[in-house]
Amino acid sequence: MKTILAAYSGVLKGTGSSILSSLQDLPSALWPCSSRMEKHLQVISVLQWVVSFLAMGIACTLLLIYMFCTDCWLIAALYTAWLIVDWNTPKRGGRRSSWVRNWTVWTYFRDYFPIRLIKTHDLLPNRNYVLGYHPHGIFCFGAFCNFGTEATGFSKKFPGIKPSLATLAGNFRLPVLRDYLMSGGICPVNRHSIDYLLSCNGTGNAVVIVVGGAAESLHCVPGVNSVTLKNRKGFVKLALQKGSDLVPVYSFGENDAYKQVIFEEGTCWRALQKRLQKILGFAPCLFYGSAWGIVPFCNPITTIVGEPITVPKIEDPTEEMVDLYHGMYVRSLRCLFDKYKTRFGLKESDILHIQ
């Protein structure tokens, strides 16, 4: 009781320092909801991203169509006109916002798992880079948090480097969602967009490509370290054509965010998943998490950015040259995994499966 009166007297005095010191003296029992409230904010921050990624584009498209049938049709018409004019912006470097990338909500997002970014080597601002991100997981939480926001301090750890996380081009055809993604520096994973970033946007650009893509997400299982890379050579050829250095990136714990129902090869459900993957561009996974099935498990995700592989500029690389640098990349990724695996809960006997 005396402690509370002391705090109250500090308020009456009206000085900032006395108020702060008095409040700091209050026992933690008087703040029973602080840690719980912070955990709720973390859950909400993750949930808003998952729901936004899954539903924002479709919901805003339906809303836009509905508005044409109401008295707000003029607003819908103006937005549609602007959308047409702005259609090619994602292919020309997008429209990133440092304000959005530094939102406080992303720090809660980071702390939910938590997510960490570890730098092993410098990336020089006078070079461009192609970062291969592994594994895909279900939602690429590590890729988004580390390269689509500043929550883990990418710009401070790699000064002069501007990351651009590449994702499905179809997301940039959906109203509002396209702008939300571009504000984080996210770009379409297509030839036009990546060509612009690596050829027409100066140096210091780092395009982050989730190499395994939708196919890899169908195989992600907690505790299993498997990447789809053996026949993925397009990103290596692109790096050679642009003279951009290759950088392997591995996220320990990315596959532990959700549990997934894996259908056996040859079953009708597996065939349906692959068919929808070809039509939609992404794999419809049957996954579940900790709360309501959609909130991920709060398991740590640690992203390691490896050593750059210097790549020469060859406008028309031969298949042998692509294979050579692809082999160098695979070996570098294996070394990165083996070097850090025991530090993040894996055994010395655990290996990285490349399929």
Q: In the predicted model, is pLDDT for residue 169 greater than 70?
A: yes
For range 133-139, the mean pLDDT: 94
Regarding predicted confidence, which is higher, 93 or 205?
Answer: 205
84-118 pLDDT, tens digit per residue, is 999 999 999 899 999 999 999 999 999 999 999 99
**Per residue, what are the HEC states of the chain?**
CHHHHHHHHHHHHCCHHHHHHHHHHCCHHHCCCHHHHHHHHHHHHHHHHHHHHHHHHHHHHHHHHHHCCCCCHHHHHHHHHHHHHCCCHHHHCCCCCHHHHCCCHHHHHHHHCCEEEEECCCCCCCCCEEEEEECCCCCCHHHHHHHCCCCCCHHHHCCCCEEEEEECHHHHHCCCHHHHHHHCCCEECCHHHHHHHHHCCCCCEEEEEECCHHHHHCCCCCCCCEECCCCCCHHHHHHHHHCCEEEEEEEECHHHCCEECCCCCCCHHHHHHHHHHHHHCCCCCCEECCECCCECCCCCEEEEECCCECCCCCCCCCHHHHHHHHHHHHHHHHHHHHHHHHHHCCCCCCCCEEC
- Record the pTM: 0.87
What residues contact 139, with CB distance under 8 A and at least 6 apart?
49, 50, 53, 257, 258, 296
218-267 pLDDT, tens digit per residue, is 888 888 899 999 999 999 999 999 999 999 999 999 999 999 887 777 78
For range 138-157, the mean pLDDT: 96
Domains annotated for the chain, with CATH where assigned, are 36-341 (3.40.1130)
What residues contact 326, with CB distance under 8 A and at least 6 apart?
233, 236
Regarding predicted confidence, which is higher, 67 or 36?
Answer: 67
Amino acid 69 reads: C
Regarding predicted confidence, which is higher, 74 or 263?
Answer: 74
310-320 pLDDT, tens digit per residue, is 999 999 999 99
In the numeric block, the tokens 């651009």 are attached to: 164
Alpha carbons 136 and 133: distance in angstroms, whole number: 7
Q: In the predicted model, is pLDDT for residue 52 greater than 80?
A: yes
Q: What is the pLDDT of residue 320?
A: 96
Q: What is the mean pLDDT of the chain?
A: 88
Q: What is the pLDDT of residue 33?
A: 60
Alpha carbons 59 and 68: distance in angstroms, whole number: 15
Q: In the predicted model, is pLDDT for residue 15 greater than 50?
A: no
Regarding predicted confidence, which is higher, 243 or 9?
Answer: 243
For range 133-138, the mean pLDDT: 94
